[in-house]
Structure formats: C-alpha cells, structure tokens
Structure 1
C-alpha cells in the first residue's frame, strides 16, 4: 500500500517504520516542524518530506493523520487529497464522526474515513517499537475501508479489534490513568527524593515489583498495599504533615489516599 503521513511526532516515528517493515511504502511525510519530518524520513527507506498539505498529486491511497487532537480540524481544513483517498486519524479521544464531518465540509472530493488507533505510549527518537503485541483499534463506517484497515492492522499486530468511538474514548481514559498518571507519580517521587538528597534508584526495585504484581494479578486491586489500604491513619497523618509545605505533593497524596480508602472502606 502507498501511504503518506501527516505528522511526524511520537506515533509516526514508530508506526511509519513498522508499516515499511510490513511491506508498505511510505511516500511522503508532512510536519509543520520540518525538522521532525526530515528526522523521520531519515529512518525510512525512500520517503520524502512534503512541505504543504496539498497532496492532490500524491501516489498514496492511505493518509494517516498523526497530529495532536487540537490540530486535527485545522489540518483537515487545508488538506487536499487525491481521488480515491482514504484518511484515518490516530486519536484515542476524537470520534470518527468528527473526521467524517470535517472531510465532508472541507474536501472537494469524496474520501473514505476511518480510525487507526494504537493503544501504546510512544516517544519520538526512541528505537522503533515492534507492534506485534500492541492493540490496534479500528473503526470505519465503510465496510470496505474497515476491512482494509483490519487487514493492515493484522499485518502489524496480533491484537486487532473493531472498537467504536465511545469504547475508544473509554480505553483512552483508562490508558491515561494507567500510563500517564502512573508515570507522573514516578516523576513526583523522583522530585521528592532528589529534593531530600536521596537517590531515585532506591525506589526502582519497589516500582518494578509493583508493576510485576499488578500485571500478574487478575485485578490489580487484589495486590494493593500501603497505609491507605490497611487504614493506617497515623502513618497517613505523618505523611501529610511532612508534605504540608509541599502543596503539589500534598494534594496528590490526599486525593489518591482518599480514593484507595473509599475502595477498601478504610476511611
């Protein structure tokens, strides 16, 4: 399949090479940050940068929107696609109906639309990830496009699902809780240990064990530990006293403690 990328950020950095390794051809990469497009092209076989959003003469049949959610409509408003094109977004939270509406309003020709959402955290500049076990969530209101996207997904991953927009948004919220918030808590823990002159490395074994147990359990709630879980209010109060001069830590600690206590009736 002939493919072009609109966006050269975290996802594109990993998805474009994966598609090439599956035998597809990446023709063009557009990014409003030209340097990002050049960097992505440098790890692809023979793709080239594309300096504008007019793809009328592109040989590609599939266009992948890999841009931030708040830029999607603005990009669609300027986008010119060739006849017979299919365009997909890669957002966890934007509904398919939004893309359909934008293309109906802004495109002078009919295009097929869909969603190709990879449920994973990606970082640009890291070694390209294997997609074998990454869940791919597919959606399209056109059966032929849906079939095409499912086949494409199955060439990359063993985990491909038909997921509608509401289900995908729920998964995205859950992923933010499990991934983004967890990483932020680790960053806060590092800030706190560093501020006290301690090494963050001291926490690495407990972090690894926490993830091991949580992933091994049928329900991570079954392996919850800590003062909030056991209703140890004396320790909680000591922690809150220690954090009283650090409001950014105090508030997070208090909210999560109360959430754990409510779950286990340990208030």
Structure 2
C-alpha cells in the first residue's frame, strides 16, 4: 500500500483526501494545513499544522497556492519521500532544494462540494528521477484511467489551453446568462446550441466549425449587438470579434 502525505486544504486537497481515503491501494498517513482546526473532511486522517518527519511516507503531494510552493519546499528539503506539487503553471524547479521532485497535476476544475469522476480526470505527471516517474504513474493510475507523462513546457501549454476552454468559456456563459436575464428570457433557450457547440468540438477542429457575424464580417449585426451590451461587455465583444475575423481572413 502506498503511503501518502498531503499538504494543503483547498478544493483540490479536499477532493484528493476523499480519493485517497476511498482507494484500497493508498493510505493517507498525514494531512497538513495552516489552520489549527482540522477540516471536517479529515475524519480518521491524522491532521497536523506541520509535516511530520517521523511518519513513513512514499509520496508527499503539495496542493497549495502556486505562490506558496517555494516556501513549502524549503520546509520539506530534508525529507526522503518524493515531493510532488499539483500546479499546472509552476516549474518543477520551484521544489528545489528537495532531492526527489515531481509534479502530480490533475487537469480539472475543482469545486469543493461538487462530485468528481476521478477515473475520467487526466492526471499529468513529471519527475526528476526515472524511478519516481514510475512511482507517480503507479499512484495516478490508482485514481485515474487517463495518466500522462508530459514535459514542463507541455504542462504549461495544457494549463493555458484549459484556461481558454474552461475559465474563459465559463465567463462568457455568465455574460450570456446576464443578457438573457435582462431580456426576461430563460437561459435554457441557449442550452441546445451550447451543448451542440461543445459536442461538435470534441469530434472536429473547432476552427472549422466557426460561424457567426464576426467570421463573415457582418458589421451591421455586430453594431446591433453592441447597442445592447454594457461598455465592458462591448469591449470584450469587439476583441473576440476581431480575433475571429483575423483567424478566418488572414
């Protein structure tokens, strides 16, 4: 059984606690956080405010804010276990001076109270020693059916792509909800076109599926749209329309 230590108490950490506690091949031997009060999810997991060096550990997962990773690494520099952070846009070098460094990056948007299907969640791994790559692959495979060894450069590009396809898309959906609410229309009217857009992008190149007034340079329609938008949303509309037009007309 693989013995795991977890540092951090955010959304990802909470999901990892549940995953490790319900996995027959892992044992969560310690959960470390800044608060003196254990999270309610701790249950039977030993919780501490500092990493316990006297507890036998195979892998220590650092699931903290990106900016906090170097400080945590400094505190862990003398441990023998493999230490892996879980960030998409942080170099493995941020874990120096730890000897055994790795990355355990689940590609998903984690929400505290939302259920998560770990089996379909990609986990991207990286390590500075070959044996530790194998160890991380073994650990990740206990949770997910989609494990990928990728480079630091690939991970940064993947994280950037995730921001476009998840964070930015969600922001645009929020604007769409606001527009329909102001018009006294149910947002559900847009559900079919939203669903169709994403489903088609899974099967084809999204660029080839582009339609709309920006692509065909329909200025008259765009001006009508701008007339019903706030100044901030209108600015975003212009930026996106210009990007679409340039993509298809250069």
Give your verdict on TM over 0.5.
yes
- 1:29 and 2:25 correspond: no
How far apart are 1:80 and its partner, in Å? Answer: 4.3
Aligned to 1:230, what secondary structure does the other structure show? coil
How far apart are 1:255 and its partner, in Å? Answer: 0.7
- 1:249 and 2:220 correspond: no
Cα deviations by residue, 1:179-206 (Å, 9 ceiling, x for unpaired): 1100111111112222333332222222
Cα deviations by residue, 1:88-112 (Å, 9 ceiling, x for unpaired): 000000011121x2xx1xxxxx641
CA contact under 8 A between 1:54 and 1:81: conserved in structure 2? no
- 1:62 and 2:56 correspond: no
Structure 2 CA distance for aligned equivalents of residues 65 and 234 of structure 1: 52
Taking the TM superposition and a 5 Å limit, the aligned residue runs for 1:176-191 are: 176-191=163-178
How far apart are 1:81 and its partner, in Å? Answer: 7.0
Aligned to 1:115, what secondary structure does the other structure show? strand
Stretches of structure 2 that go unaligned for 5 or more consecutive residues are none
Cα deviations by residue, 1:155-199 (Å, 9 ceiling, x for unpaired): 222222211111100100011001110011111111222233333
CA contact under 8 A between 1:29 and 1:48: conserved in structure 2? yes
Aligned to 2:105, what secondary structure does the other structure show? strand
Structure 2 CA distance for aligned equivalents of residues 199 and 15 of structure 1: 36
2:84 match: 88
Q: What is the TM-score normalised by the length of structure 2?
A: 0.91
2:110 match: 122
Structure 2 CA distance for aligned equivalents of residues 82 and 40 of structure 1: 29
CA contact under 8 A between 1:5 and 1:29: conserved in structure 2? yes
Stretches of structure 1 that go unaligned for 5 or more consecutive residues are 105-109
- The runs of at least 4 consecutive aligned structure 1 residues that moved more than 3 Å come to 80-83
Structure 1 CA distance for aligned equivalents of residues 41 and 182 of structure 2: 37
Structure 2 CA distance for aligned equivalents of residues 260 and 83 of structure 1: 51
Q: What is the TM-score normalised by the length of structure 1?
A: 0.85
How far apart are 1:83 and its partner, in Å? Answer: 4.4
How far apart are 1:249 and its partner, in Å? Answer: 0.6
1:107 match: none
2:45 match: 47
Change (3 A) 1:4 1:120: same
Q: What RMSD, in angstroms, separates the aligned Cα atoms of the two structures?
A: 2.0
Structure 2 CA distance for aligned equivalents of residues 15 and 28 of structure 1: 12
Higher mean C-alpha displacement, 168-177 vs 10-19:
10-19
CA contact under 8 A between 2:214 and 2:244: conserved in structure 1? yes
Structure 1 CA distance for aligned equivalents of residues 133 and 158 of structure 2: 20
Structure 2 CA distance for aligned equivalents of residues 172 and 33 of structure 1: 29
